[in-house]
Amino acid sequence: MKQIYGYAFHSPLIIINLVPHKEYIPIYLDAKWLNSDVKKNVTPLLSENKQIVFLASLPILQVALKLFPDITPKVILFEFPGLINPFKDPLIEWIDCDHQTGGAWQTMKSKLESFETILRELSPLDEQGRELIARMQRFITPDRISEIEGFQEYMPSSYKDLVDYGSVDQLESNYESKTIVWKKKSLTEILKQVIEFVAKPKREELLNIFLDYQLARVTKRDFTAQIKPFVSTNVPLKKALTQVRKWMDDAKHGKCLYQAYLDYVSNLERRSWKLILEDHGAVDEQDLLLAIAKQDRDTPDILSLYEDDLRDIKDLVSNMNLPEATVQWSDGSFGYHPEPPVLSQLFDF
């Protein structure tokens, strides 16, 4: 019996409205949700005595099934089969496309009004179905949309400005030099470059201002006020500051690092170091250690400082087995994570 219906060419927003609400609870799992979002949005619906139907793309579906190992939902998968491995299995049926001879995929004639009927025929997910979804992989070509959109930020406003750049090659080089700093490097690498714009006696003070902002100890307004004396007469630092702010405010960089840090503060003794790094967008290990070097989890006011943010983080799924303290520190003891570095050893103060 089929346990997964696959849709390549239909919107989940269309399909979810075809699910009969008298018998089923359709739950659309947004691809942008974090683990805490999944738990918050799904848990209240589990108390109703109806069949759960998950409508989702593969990555967020895998997250939801890990978070709720005891439920047996019906599954509607929204993916293009050409990007999924394995795409073919006795447990999965692609409803709106068909695999033809020669490896081509083509659209099938699927009547949406028959959806209610085929949904009743779909079996709830059992252990075999869970295992299939767990080992599925999605292969995606590199996304260059953000790069293309970002290029316009550095385009000259007029032909004269373009001539002043000297050449298109120079313009492209200028763009690369500005974007690569915060999109392709870790926070640690960026900060090592930025503090070089100030004299050594002031470097530690400047670094602490950046880290206080990254760790949400100060507001954006306070951060701007504290940084102002450094940039008022320092043009190179003012330009570099823009890139650091972009990194720290970016959803895939600074905000992921912040979430990983909160995960470390709340869950270190029940979630492995590797899991903490990987669950937040593959955070750079050195960046997380930098945050810890600035503010260890034993800091006296840390729980009150992050009380609201820790409320969801503490509910993240734990490892199947409790992590062991297997990392040896310099004093011979063992910890759950690498030994926090000393800031003065990381940076040239």
Q: Given pLDDT bands bounded at 50, 70 and 90, which one contains residue 144?
A: low
What b/e readout covers 304-339, taking b as 16+ CB neighbours within 10 angstroms? ebbeebbebbebbbeeeeebeeeeeeeeeeeebbee
Q: What are phi and psi of 237, to 5 degrees?
A: -65, -35
Q: What are phi and psi of 22, to 5 degrees?
A: -70, -30
Per-residue pLDDT at 341 exceeds 70:
yes
Closest CA to 98 of 81, 74, 122: 81
pLDDT tens-digit series, residues 215-252: 999 998 899 999 988 888 888 888 888 888 889 998 88
Average pLDDT over residues 147-171: 52
Specify the pLDDT at position 103. Answer: 57
Higher pLDDT, residue 153 or 255: 255
Angstrom distances, CA of residue 242 to CA of 96, 115, 173, 235: 47, 51, 18, 11
The beta-carbon contacts of 247-254 under 8 Å, at least 24 apart in sequence, are: 247/182, 247/187, 247/190, 248/187, 248/210, 248/213, 248/214, 250/182, 252/281, 253/182, 253/183, 253/187, 254/187, 254/214
Specify the pLDDT at position 170. Answer: 46
Mean pLDDT, the chain, integer: 83
Q: List the domain boundaries for the chain.
A: 4-138, 185-349
Query: Strand runs (DSSP E) across 23-109, as ranges?
Result: 24-28, 51-56, 74-78, 84-85, 92-94, 97-99, 105-107
Taking phi over 0 as left and psi of -120 to 50 as alpha, with beta for the rest, 336 belongs to alpha
Q: Compute the half-sphere exposure of residue 152: CA atoms within 13 Å on the CB side of its CA.
A: 4
pLDDT tens-digit series, residues 34-44: 888 899 899 98
Specify the pLDDT at position 76. Answer: 95
Question: CA-to-CA distance for 5 and 12, rounded, in angstroms?
Answer: 12
pLDDT tens-digit series, residues 251-270: 889 999 999 999 999 988 88
Average pLDDT over residues 20-46: 90
Its pTM surpasses 0.75? no
167 Cβ neighbours under 8 A, 6+ residues apart = none
Average pLDDT over residues 138-160: 59
